[in-house]
Amino acid sequence: MALTLVNPRGLPEVDAYHQMSIATGSKLVFLAGQVAWDAEGATVGEGGLAAQVERCYLNIGTALAEVGGSFDDVAKITVYVVDWTPDKMPLFLERVARAAAKLGGAPVPRGGLRPG
């Protein structure tokens, strides 16, 4: 699936993401929410944000690879974190980067990551 990222005239351009993505192609895949479970169903990083973030992104990468895709094909990722505070963002991004290194690419949509 090809994605075209657009910032329409009349909407602000933001460094972290694009206002719109247009997907074209013949395959649309919806992935169930991923949690920090390994292939055997054991919890990874019980009670720790860092290891759980990395495991979730690796799980997404595994699922994408199964259908011949990669994070380059992802239009949107929604992340839910219990007890989120902005000071956790550096740790979150560090583990996303570690997952990226293991997967050989950036595990965020091409439009960027929008912290919420």
The encoded tokens of residue 91 equal 């740790």
Q: Apex CA 89: angle with CA 86 and CA 72, to 5°?
A: 135
Closest by CA to 38, choosing from 15, 17, 54, is 54
State pLDDT tens for residues 5-27: 888 898 888 777 788 888 787 67
Question: What is the tens place of the pLDDT at every residue in 23-78?
Answer: 787 678 888 899 999 999 999 999 899 999 999 999 999 999 998 888 878 877 88
Centre a 10 Å sphere on the Cβ of residue 89 and count the other Cβ atoms it contains.
13
